[in-house]
């Protein structure tokens, strides 16, 4: 093609773009305007273009040969109610090509409660494996050689007892702690922002992190002491720029905490790891990982490390859970494959691919095999491992990488002006921005401005139910209680008491290392709950105040006839019976509150009077709050499979208090197979994944009007 031809084509394209700038330019939620055409002019002056893989700023990858030398590690994050079932799954997966174990714990464990605690009746064995002591952990890794297999554990709140149990399990398997490899998440700032599986307030939580970094730097040289996670931020609704900026700002804060502990930067920096979500914005996700490495190098240079490895960002990635849809669920296999390819082209070091049924329930063995094989096909059949950084030099990707880095750096600098990430979290800035972004996206999906195939466009008229994994929560809990009782009978009570007292003393005085003291307690067979409580008596519990954003969902529907009709009906109802009042409730230990916050925000904008309930309520506490607030409706949000236990208990608790006229509805990750069960147990309506918020609001108003008509 001649220069004249290129010039003519460019001129024609430019005229077309100028004629329709808004329709051809993509205005992303990150505030980046993506043009339909990129040329070499768009990458002029970008500094990182001259870098090579394995060299700072590592934009093209942390290792010189990347996958051409060694492919990424295939991981499957999983936990199936009991240690026995989880162990069986891990062993099969390892034989089938999985290269490391990633453990998902149940919410009771996350929050530092033993399975026999009354607050966790609906949570034991749901959404992960129940671990109460070393005895459970030994079963979990039975037959899995810990000196050879890398173990990743997603744990933040109860990080001390879980890591202590892992270390003791290694010892009793004959593997000294210096040979243990893997990662503990240990990222508490993210929990305060989005995921909410915290236990203690921010200050003592940061001290726990510093103690873990100190202990592992000295005792566990092959183990990553922290996985600084953006994954749950994106799952909670963060834009990609927010995920990138807040994750790196968290990392900077943790480095400062370790240095304040007296650790030289080069002693621990090489064992820091990161964890990012990979959603459906294919090229931007790849650019995000490249920008993350560039910016982390910039941050770490502030601390003047001597080793080049201290500047490297190494990351695990997981395909998005939020992108999975209940409707037409086999589409999720395609989504996950695209997301996995994006992570690989971005240069991840390890990867988990979600199973297609995870929008509905825990994965089955069938769906987990498809997810794992997605990675095996990527590694062995696509050729992506043959070339280091295949996207290097792309006008679009390089420009996008630069735009992502600039936008994220501006947000990181804003956090610095606030006094750092701990201060920003205390002030609520990250949480507020993420909740605003989540509500904005929900409105875009509800209005079909953002198309989700099979959900808000190209819907199937009839959908066949798929087989799902059902967990008998009661049976799992009884089994766990039996093992706890047996452990307590067989241990030395005096030794347990002494080690727990020592742990409390270390927590109180700051003299000694908390993890070291907890390892002694775990050896004595102190339980996860007992070790957590030994610190609770000193640190206390963190209690968050629920806040709801306003005006964002409603603004998206300004002038919309659908909204005006619904508002008119609400006004008519309010004149007849008072403004309808709704309690949005979170029961059990499920801290995932994106859905609850979006519903509370949207319903408020639509015209309901909304009460946002606190996290971690029991059914009795929610019933008391509903009566005290004089609500008409309780909307229970469930994302962690506790609905079949907790929703009927809530209905009965209201009836027992003479408030059976309060309508109970349930929404969240609920399989259609469970709808009839919930309706039979007094729930008036069920809203599964992908429900349009306007449809939910109309359904709730229908129930209220029906109740008014029949009263």
As annotated, the active-site residues are 77, 231-232, 586, 590, 592
* Phi, psi for residue 329 in degrees, rounded to 5: -65, -20
CA 228 to chain centre: 12
CA 601 to chain centre: 21
Q: Are the beta carbons of 279 and 232 closer than 8 angstroms? A: no
Q: Which residue from 153, 211, 144, 152 is spatially nearest to 175, judged by alpha carbons?
A: 144
Give the integer Cα–Cα distance in Å for 600 and 633: 12
Q: Are the beta carbons of 494 and 524 closer than 8 angstroms? A: no
Computed from CA positions of residues 699, 701, 706, 711, in that sequence, does the dihedral angle turn out positive or negative? positive
Residue 48 has what DSSP assignment? G
Give the integer Cα–Cα distance in Å for 149 and 263: 28
Q: Are the beta carbons of 312 and 62 closer than 8 angstroms? A: yes
Q: Is 369 helix (H, G, I), strand (E, B) or coil?
A: helix
Q: What are the start-end ranges of the H helices in 141-281?
A: 159-172, 188-190, 202-219, 231-235, 240-260, 265-268
Q: Are the beta carbons of 437 and 238 closer than 8 angstroms? A: yes
Give rounded-to-5 percent helix, strand, coil for the chain.
Answer: 55, 10, 35
Give the integer Cα–Cα distance in Å for 446 and 599: 12
Tokens describing residue 208: 């726990």
Give the integer Cα–Cα distance in Å for 262 and 643: 47
User: What's the Rg (C-alpha) of the chain?
Assistant: 26
Q: Using CA atoms in the order 363, 128, 120, 671, what is the torsion angle rounded to 10 degrees?
A: -10
Q: Which residue has the tokens 């109610």?
A: 81
Tokens describing residue 75: 């991981």
Q: Are the beta carbons of 359 and 455 closer than 8 angstroms? A: no
CA 306 to chain centre: 34
């Amino acid at each position: 093609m001649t220069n004249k031809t290129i010039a003519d084509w460019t001129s024609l394209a430019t005229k077309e773009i100028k004629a329709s700038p808004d329709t051809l330019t993509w205005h992303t939620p990150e505030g980046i305007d993506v043009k339909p055409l990129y040329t070499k002019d768009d990458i002029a002056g970008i500094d990182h273009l001259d870098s090579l893989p394995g060299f700072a700023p590592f934009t093209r990858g942390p290792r010189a040969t990347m996958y051409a030398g060694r492919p990424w590690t295939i991981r499957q994050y999983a936990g199936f109610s009991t240690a026995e079932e989880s162990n069986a799954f891990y062993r099969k997966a390892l034989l089938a090509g999985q290269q490391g174990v990633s453990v998902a714990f149940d919410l009771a464990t996350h929050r530092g409660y033993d399975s026999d605690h009354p607050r966790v009746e609906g949570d034991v064995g749901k959404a992960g494996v129940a671990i109460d002591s070393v005895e459970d952990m030994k079963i979990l890794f039975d037959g899995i050689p810990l000196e050879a297999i890398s173990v990743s554990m997603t744990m933040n709140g109860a990080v001390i007892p879980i890591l202590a149990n892992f270390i003791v399990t290694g010892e009793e398997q004959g593997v000294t702690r210096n040979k243990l490899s893997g990662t503990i998440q240990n990222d508490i700032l993210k929990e305060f922002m989005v995921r909410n599986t915290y236990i203690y307030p921010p200050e003592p939580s940061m001290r726990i992190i510093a103690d873990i970094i100190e202990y592992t730097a000295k005792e566990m040289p092959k183990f990553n002491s922290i996985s600084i996670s953006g994954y749950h931020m994106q799952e909670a609704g963060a834009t990609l720029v927010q995920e990138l900026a807040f994750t790196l700002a968290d990392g900077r804060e943790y480095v400062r905490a370790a240095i304040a502990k007296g650790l030289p930067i080069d002693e621990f920096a090489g064992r820091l790891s990161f964890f990012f979500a990979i959603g459906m914005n294919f090229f931007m996700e790849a650019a995000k990982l490249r920008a993350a490495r560039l910016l982390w190098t910039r941050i770490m240079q502030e601390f003047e490390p001597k080793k080049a490895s201290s500047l490297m960002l190494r990351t695990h990635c997981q395909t998005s859970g939020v992108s999975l849809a209940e409707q037409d669920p086999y589409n999720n296999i395609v989504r996950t494959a695209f997301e996995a390819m994006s992570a690989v082209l971005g240069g991840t070091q390890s990867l988990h691919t979600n199973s297609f049924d995870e929008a509905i329930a825990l994965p089955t063995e069938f769906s987990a095999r498809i997810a794992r094989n997605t990675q095996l096909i990527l590694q062995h059949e696509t050729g992506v491992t043959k070339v280091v950084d295949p996207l290097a030099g792309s006008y679009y990707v390089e420009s996008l990488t630069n735009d992502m880095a600039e936008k994220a750096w501006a947000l990181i600098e804003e956090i610095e002006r606030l006094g750092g990430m701990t201060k920003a979290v205390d002030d609520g800035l990250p949480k507020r921005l993420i909740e605003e972004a989540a509500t904005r996206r929900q409105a875009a999906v509800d209005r079909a401005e953002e198309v989700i195939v099979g959900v808000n466009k190209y819907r199937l008229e009839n959908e066949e139910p798929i087989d799902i994994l059902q967990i008998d929560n009661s049976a799992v809990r009884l089994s766990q209680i039996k093992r706890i009782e047996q452990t307590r009978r067989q241990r030395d009570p005096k030794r347990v008491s002494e080690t727990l007292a020592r742990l409390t003393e270390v927590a109180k005085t700051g003299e000694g290392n908390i993890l070291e003291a907890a390892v002694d307690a775990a050896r004595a067979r102190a339980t996860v709950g007992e070790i957590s409580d030994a610190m609770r008596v000193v640190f206390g519990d963190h209690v968050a105040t629920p806040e709801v954003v306003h005006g964002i969902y409603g603004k998206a529907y300004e002038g919309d006839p659908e909204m005006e009709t619904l508002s008119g009906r609400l006004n008519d109802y309010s004149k007849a019976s008072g403004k309808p009042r709704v309690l949005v409730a979170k029961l059990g230990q499920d801290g995932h509150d994106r859905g609850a916050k979006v519903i509370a925000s949207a319903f408020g904008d639509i015209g309901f009077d909304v009460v946002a309930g606190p996290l971690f309520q029991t059914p009795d506490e929610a019933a008391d709050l509903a009566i005290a607030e004089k609500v008409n409706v309780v909307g229970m949000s469930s994302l962690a499979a506790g609905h079949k236990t907790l929703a009927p208990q809530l209905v009965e608790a209201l009836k027992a208090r003479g408030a059976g006229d309060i309508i109970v509805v349930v929404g969240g990750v609920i399989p259609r197979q469970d709808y009839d069960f919930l309706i039979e147990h007094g729930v008036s309506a069920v809203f599964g994944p992908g429900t349009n918020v306007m449809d939910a609001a109309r359904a709730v108003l229908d129930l209220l009007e029906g109740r008014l008509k029949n009263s």
